[in-house]
Structure 1
């Protein structure tokens, strides 16, 4: 079956943020209930379940809250690409004939602080974080510094990206950070790892998201606005793809893993960057969004400066990116993050994104990068 033979018929979200006293599984339950309502079906109609989480080791145990129907439930984890992986596995269950209706769920509840001093992320000893050494901030800081140097991109471009994210978050009733922050405030915030300041990074938090899929030929039984899965790719690094050099690599090196996943997704979908109307890119930091613009084919290296300055990545621009505020405004509960992207894209393609709506959006693109060294791309269309 082609990827377009699967449709998304319902999405749900538990807003990201901090929820003392509420478990990740309970947040997942809320997201699933919303997705079921969106699809107009009961829990008993779900025939396959794929749940992803970093903190919850058996997230498929969510069936204990939703109902013990005997549904096959499987746990999924591929770092920041978890949401895209659970979506792809649910789709594959439909393609293989294992299910007519399947659900992808992401949920997590992270403690405050940087991801890097958490043993489940890095495997590093406690003293690493206690000494103020944070793997994620160091990694993305070095990566951004190299990229900006190589392509003549000023730090102001990163501040503009961050300000856009917080501005979009202010339009999003589900965002964690809903206060606009100016370019000047972003630049004036403390430098954590040069060139990245405090407001150029996302933070770990809590939340959940879900998507329900079915066979494309059955989609109109459930909704008048199905969204079709055109491509879903996941790639890990090839020998020679040293991520600190990405994406401008020596000729002897392999391309970035994101470039691999993106090219494969465009080929699957039979589409190109010029066909995409609304974009979700992994923005663990503002530098990542800038780098991923080029890696996913939306511009050449260095062109980001003019595009961002001209407002082309804003909601009213030619390349609207992270219309819901992305990771910067929403934070990142790792297991749920990728399905938040899908939630936003489905709402954009259905024309129900409110103040964030991209007029006439028909094709949506989502990219995730994690580990480091794993990338996933999903393309949706009406």
Structure 2
């Protein structure tokens, strides 16, 4: 079995790009990643990619070069990019090829995610009563969690304000204007306790990562980042997560718990070893919840950690240093590879004004994709 290294990352900025297709953004991300890796497109021997809005992202080879490589399409909702990364890495680990690329791209219309639930096997009434990928579900989930663990609504505002500050330092972010906590709290209430600016926005963008066998990584870069683990897990029967009304009342833990534990076990690294963290912040409540689910704190400890500045760029647990989804928005297929792009930049010491101090060595990324798939990734220098 081969170890795997990330030798290049590329990103098309996230935001709104009138007249530019998701595929065109994907082309830009691919060429940026290939250039960053110090290879040519002809050196890439396999690709994996995913998108919500593009039915066949494999067609991108017609835009970057018809080299005949195998291309595997994947889709796992918001966990799509983690799935693409894992599929690419597994091919290298098994010795099928030496160099591969993982790609994510999407272009969403303005507004909340309200796609047809039938696309993921759910009955239409699930959307009609406000529970499918809408602000209603996220509000209900955050409200219950805050109530159960004694966390204030202001803590949610702290999460959003922190991510807006970090986004202001990120030239590729969608929202690049800091926002005060009080302004976030005073913005229109969408679904209690979540106000307008506690949510991410569906938008547009693309990202890519070039992977290779770890033993040949130094041929291409003097700063390889090693992919220690990528684990994907689905929800168990009864888990308290999206689509709970199709499960019994008894609750289990989120698939994020299982994916994170599996990733740390495979990597031989614990949460206490992580220097920089990327968590899915579809809303501010999600970041709070995922902090505990991924193992970085106990349920209820988030209030003090946020108040003490632990999750700031200079804190003990820097979370979403590039602004996360709240500042970047979410083109579903690309979000997870945006996380990897940020972790690679951080571990290389190339994150500029948002660089975590102290030469970080270990990074962690987490994604949660409805209706119940979670991905967790561990990388290190």
Question: Structure 1 length as normaliser, TM-score?
Answer: 0.94
Q: Which moved more, 1:131-140 or 1:195-204?
A: 131-140
Which residue of 1 is the match for residue 380 of structure 2?
381
Q: Secondary structure at the match of 2:84?
A: helix
| 1:129-182 superposed Cα distances (whole Å, 9 cap, x missing partner) | 8x9987421111111000000001000000000000000000001100000000
Which residue of 2 is the match for residue 165 of structure 1?
163
Aligned counterpart for 1:149 among listed residues 141, 147, 150: 147
Which residue of 2 is the match for residue 235 of structure 1?
233
Which residue of 1 is the match for residue 178 of structure 2?
180
Which residue of 2 is the match for residue 58 of structure 1?
56
Decide whether the 8 Å contact of 1:170 with 1:179 is kept in 2: yes
- Matched ranges for 1:113-152 at <5 A: 113-117=111-115, 135-152=133-150
Which residue of 2 is the match for residue 318 of structure 1?
316
Separation in 1, partners of 2:109, 2:185: 26
| 1:238-270 superposed Cα distances (whole Å, 9 cap, x missing partner) | 122122799xxx996432211111111110011
Separation in 1, partners of 2:82, 2:242: 24
Which residue of 2 is the match for residue 270 of structure 1?
268
Q: CA deviation at 1:322?
A: 0.1
Which residue of 2 is the match for residue 354 of structure 1?
352
Decide whether the 8 Å contact of 2:231 with 2:377 is kept in 1: yes
Which residue of 2 is the match for residue 218 of structure 1?
216
Which residue of 2 is the match for residue 200 of structure 1?
198
Aligned counterpart for 1:83 among listed residues 81, 84, 89: 81
Separation in 2, partners of 1:176, 1:379: 26
Question: Structure 2 length as normaliser, TM-score?
Answer: 0.94
Decide whether the 8 Å contact of 1:143 with 1:245 is kept in 2: no
Change (3 A) 1:124 1:28: farther
Which residue of 1 is the match for residue 370 of structure 2?
371
Q: CA deviation at 1:375?
A: 0.6
Separation in 2, partners of 1:9, 1:308: 34
Unaligned runs of 5+ in 1: none
- Matched ranges for 1:31-110 at <5 A: 31-110=29-108
Q: CA deviation at 1:95?
A: 1.2
Q: Secondary structure at the match of 1:375?
A: strand
Decide whether the 8 Å contact of 1:50 with 1:73 is kept in 2: yes
Separation in 1, partners of 2:131, 2:366: 28
Q: CA deviation at 1:125?
A: 6.4
| 1:244-300 superposed Cα distances (whole Å, 9 cap, x missing partner) | 799xxx996432211111111110011111100000000000000000000111111
RMSD between superposed Cα atoms in Å: 2.2
Decide whether the 8 Å contact of 1:51 with 1:86 is kept in 2: yes
Separation in 2, partners of 1:213, 1:28: 17
Q: Secondary structure at the match of 1:49?
A: strand
Q: Secondary structure at the match of 2:210?
A: strand
Q: CA deviation at 1:116?
A: 1.5
Decide whether the 8 Å contact of 1:147 with 1:245 is kept in 2: no
Q: Secondary structure at the match of 1:318?
A: coil
Q: Secondary structure at the match of 2:134?
A: helix
Q: CA deviation at 1:97?
A: 1.5
| 1:298-324 superposed Cα distances (whole Å, 9 cap, x missing partner) | 111111000001100000000000000
Separation in 1, partners of 2:133, 2:117: 11
Q: CA deviation at 1:117?
A: 4.2
Decide whether the 8 Å contact of 2:26 with 2:206 is kept in 1: yes
